[in-house]
């Protein structure tokens, strides 16, 4: 774990990259921000979490770090120990954690529950979607209060790193960390639509997977939305697909979600 700090004092604002070692956008974005550091009114901590996995270009070494919280300093796995150290490091911080996906090019945010932090931060982020994962955050960093996860875009893309920089700037603005920068939520920005994550969509064992649905676009009841070796999956009832892709996860296509409302800045 690598930790850098902007400003003096004990940070209550943190940015985390590389929870997953195969998602380089967060580290690139953090390095770009630190290369040309903004003046800050509040100290900010930048954490590169899983350096070992990052160096190997793999998601994790022993187990998925984002399923390993709270972890244990004496855990048998690298990620189990790292989870405990990272949770301790972020204990008193409002935190932005940067990820990327194989399913969606536009940035979006995820929180365990839409609380005051989510309501105050998300309108400043360049996102039009907020996913509430409540009840499905087991072992994830967003299980902790004051943590907002963002998907910056497609894994490995330059655009995801660019979005990461914008997401960090928006987060630092929202938390009042930037000097000479009055927090102003984008007045012309689209409202943030909130989706609540439902059950995952399992993948049966097959050689070829397809997804016909588009994330955050409603799938109607009776519509075929994915296929495993040509066997089509048909929706029993209407839902919104989230994080859905043919090969993004080993054993699920992604998730069903319902649209629950709009955050008005």
Min. distance of Cβ 188 from Zn ion in angstroms? 30
Choose between 99 and 256: whose C-beta lies nearer to Zn ion. Answer: 99
Choose between 42 and 99: whose C-beta lies nearer to Zn ion. Answer: 99
Please tell me whether residue 20 binds Zn ion under the rule CB under 5 A.
yes
Min. distance of Cβ 64 from Zn ion in angstroms? 9
The footprint of Zn ion on residues 69-128 (CB under 5 A) is 99
Cis-peptide into 198, omega within 30 deg: no
Choose between 55 and 238: whose C-beta lies nearer to Zn ion. Answer: 55
Please tell me whether residue 28 binds Zn ion under the rule CB under 5 A.
no
Choose between 99 and 203: whose C-beta lies nearer to Zn ion. Answer: 99
Min. distance of Cβ 23 from Zn ion in angstroms? 5
Whether residue 183 contacts residue 255, with contact meaning beta carbons closer than 8 Å, is answered with no
Please tell me whether residue 140 binds Zn ion under the rule CB under 5 A.
no
Residue ranges that bind Zn ion, judged by CB under 5 A: 20, 23, 99
């Amino acid at each position: 774990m690598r930790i850098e700090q902007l400003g003096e004092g004990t940070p209550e604002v943190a940015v985390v990259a590389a929870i997953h070692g195969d998602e380089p956008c967060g580290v690139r974005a953090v390095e770009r921000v630190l290369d040309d550091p903004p003046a800050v009114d509040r100290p900010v901590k930048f954490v590169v979490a899983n350096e070992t996995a990052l160096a190997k270009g793999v998601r994790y070494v022993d187990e998925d770090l984002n399923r390993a919280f709270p972890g244990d300093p004496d855990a048998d796995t690298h990620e189990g120990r790292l989870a405990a150290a990272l949770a301790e490091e972020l204990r008193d911080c409002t935190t932005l954690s940067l990820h990327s996906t194989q399913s969606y090019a536009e940035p979006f945010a995820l929180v365990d529950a839409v609380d005051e932090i989510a309501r105050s931060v998300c309108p400043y982020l360049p996102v039009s979607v907020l996913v509430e994962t409540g009840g499905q955050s087991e072992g994830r960093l967003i299980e902790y209060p004051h943590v907002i996860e963002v998907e910056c875009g497609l894994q490995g893309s330059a655009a995801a790193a660019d979005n990461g920089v914008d997401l960090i700037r928006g987060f630092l603005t929202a938390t009042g960390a930037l000097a000479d920068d009055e927090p102003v939520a984008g007045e012309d920005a689209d409202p943030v639509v909130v989706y609540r994550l439902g059950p995952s969509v399992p993948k049966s064992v097959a050689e070829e997977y397809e997804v016909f649905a588009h994330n955050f676009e409603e799938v109607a009841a009776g519509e075929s939305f994915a296929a495993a070796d040509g066997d089509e999956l048909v929706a029993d009832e209407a839902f919104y697909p989230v994080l859905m892709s043919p090969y993004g996860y080993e054993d699920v296509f992604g998730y069903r979600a319902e649209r629950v409302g709009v955050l008005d800045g």
